[in-house]
Structure 1
Amino acid sequence: MSSLFVPDSVARNEGGISDADLSAQFAAHAEEAKRRERKGQWHLLFILVFVLGPLVVYPLARLVMLSVTGANGFTLHAYTAFFGNPETRGMIGTTLGILVASASIASLLGVAIASMLFFRPFAGARLLTRFLELFVAFPSFLVAFTLIFLYGSQGSVSIGLQRIFSLDATPLDFLFGIGGVILAEVVFYAPFVVRPTLASYATLDMRLVEAAKSLGADGWMVATKVVLPLAWPGIAAGTILCFLLTLNEFGILLVLGSAHLITLPIAIYSAATVDLDLPTAAAGSVVMLLMSLSLYALYRRVNRRAGVR
């Protein structure tokens, strides 16, 4: 009789392994799995108590408690003072305006650079890609100082233009304000969009692109009808990450933001260090934290749709 018709228990016994031995092995494997699970739970508990607890959970809890605690106990006075300030609406509007302008331009520029590097490679494209990867490790305030050395009133480009055109004053005067902040954030955060976009392009089935071209589709149609729908989850994830990082930017704002350019991070910093109004600073920090967590939740959701964990 063919071995296909031999019961599993008989086949195992013919191999020299009894049912008792198999049961013992299964029990040993199950016990080992339980030990690994318990060990992992203890590791997680250790991280929560001794790492995340003092470094993340406790400071955030203290921040929230400070924003809702007054001399007489629980109070929302800090939030009413924060939102009741006539300058708050303009400050939030300025913050969101800089965020949308900087992150949108940086995202478009990042996608354009990634598309050029992937679909139109050139000599030195690999070196440029490595430079962009290294660029994200730089502190953001270095970009601000670099722009000052180039385009500031005493910058090399400004002085060069002044001498070339025999001007009485330097022609460039835009850095210390909204224009300079947007330029610096675009330069710094565009590379953060390049890498996720390149990773998304790498998953494309290029046979679909070639098939679209063979059917007569031009470059714009291939980009909008084939590439963009397939690569959109990765591009969207990079764009949301760019918005998240730009929202939390502080170094560029501190260097290039003038006294008249008050944004939410600068207002929180001033309330805590200049006015010594810690409850109001805590309330503003909680508001900013909620905005950041909302963007992060959206980023994780898009990542899940893109198949990234």
Structure 2
Amino acid sequence: MSSLSTSELRIDDAAHAVAKRRRGRLAQWHLWFILVVVLGPLVIYPLLRLLTLSVTDAHGFSLHAYTAFFGNPETSGVIGKTLGILFASATLASLLGVLLASMLFFKPFPGAKLVTRFLELFVAFPSFLVAFTLIFLYGSQGSVSIGLQRLFNLQHPPLDFLFGIGGVILAEVVFYAPFVVRPTLASFATLDTRLIEAASSLGANGRMVAFKVILPLAWPGIAAGTILCFLLTLNEFGILLVLGSAHLITLPTAIYSSATVDLDLSAAAAGAVVMLAMSLSLYALYRRINRRNGGRNGN
């Protein structure tokens, strides 16, 4: 009886080992399928083609595209304008997102859940739709501008700021603030409310509780949402295309112009690689903070 049981156990172990190897081979085939059929033509090949195009010319390997890109006196102005809009928009959007999340979580009001659901739905809207909405409302011929003109008997519409830096920053703040709200709310949900109650019972006012208790504990989630906001704002193109004037040339629009107007694909590829490096740096920072936040929550 004992020998029979031992034989059955060995057979079961062998069957499990065979099934495990079969699952492993199937997983490898799935991985190769994803790499070859999905990631290959859609991600890997375009990136390799972009890199190749930026370091080659008619005579072979060349860094002329990068030397021309960084040697162009207008490049520093384009990058500076891009970074200026990025920091202004993402910073304001992050602050607004954190304030909205704080109000929705700590000071709930009737309809707060509906507002939260709307903000979650808002992130599914295309960015250019927000730009057009602002034009219809606050453009020189928008309903709000025309209403103010008629109300105060003005000769010209009082609002005329959308087609420029001001309009781009406003549209990006409106569009990307909800992207900060969700991770901030998720970070607030992990807080130990007993610590907040203890701080309040010890005489700490609202500002002290916010900056001494809530912010240090929720900071990893807030930082992750903020960096995600910076990453998405850096790669924004629709709002720039709709509201950016002819004088507002940023890195995305410069790349687009080089590729479609000037037909200089090498210069466009070099600019795209520079922008890709900036995006990957922000993404690496986002992933690092997310891993720290996950480890902290796991502990």
The TM-score with structure 1 as length reference comes to 0.93
Hey, what does 2:282 align to over in structure 1? 295
Name the counterpart of 1:67: 54
Q: Which runs of 5+ in 1 are unaligned?
A: 1-11
1:51-83 CA-partner distances (Å, limit 9, x unpaired): 100011001111110111111100011111111
Q: Does 1:22 align with 2:12?
A: no
Aligned-CA RMSD value? 1.6
The Cα shift of 1:188 comes to: 0.1
AA at the equivalent of 2:90: A
Cα distance in 2, alignment partners of residues 261 and 112 from structure 1: 30
Distance 1:223 1:208 in 2: 12
Give, in angstroms, the shift of residue 307 of structure 1.
Answer: 0.6
Instruction: Return the letter of the residue paired with 2:138.
Output: Y
Distance 1:231 1:25 in 2: 49
Partner of 2:70 in structure 1? Answer: 83
CA distance in 1, matches of 2:222, 2:21: 40
| Aligned with 1:264 (options 251, 269, 272) | 251
Alpha-carbon displacement from aligned partner over 1:166-218 (angstroms, at most 9, x marks no partner): 11111111101100000000000000000000111111111111111111111
- Cα displacement (A) at 1:36: 1.4
Give 1:17 deviation, angstroms: 7.8
1:216 and 1:37 map into 2 onto residues whose CA distance is 59
Counting only pairs closer than 5 Å after superposition, residues 1-309 of structure 1 correspond to structure 2 as: 18-307=5-294
Provide the rounded CA distance (Å) in 2 between the counterparts of 1:17 and 1:48: 46
State how far apart, in whole Å, the 2-side matches of 1:51 and 1:117 are. Answer: 40
Counterpart-to-counterpart distance in 2, 1:108 and 1:253: 22
CA distance in 1 between counterparts of 2:220 and 2:6 reads 51
Residue 241 (structure 1) shift = 0.4
- TM-score scaled by structure 2? 0.96
Partner Cα distance (2:220, 2:21) in 1 = 37
Q: How many Å separate the matches in 2 of 1:268 and 1:307?
A: 37
Unaligned 5+ segments in structure 2 are none
CA change 1:115–1:22 in 2 (3 A) is same
The one-letter code of the counterpart of 2:203 is G
Q: CA offsets per residue over residues 206-245 of structure 1, 9 Å max, x none? A: 1111111111111111111111111111111110000000
Once the two structures are aligned, what percentage of the paired residues are identical? Answer: 79
216-225 or 266-275: bigger deviation:
216-225
Shift of 1:38: 1.7
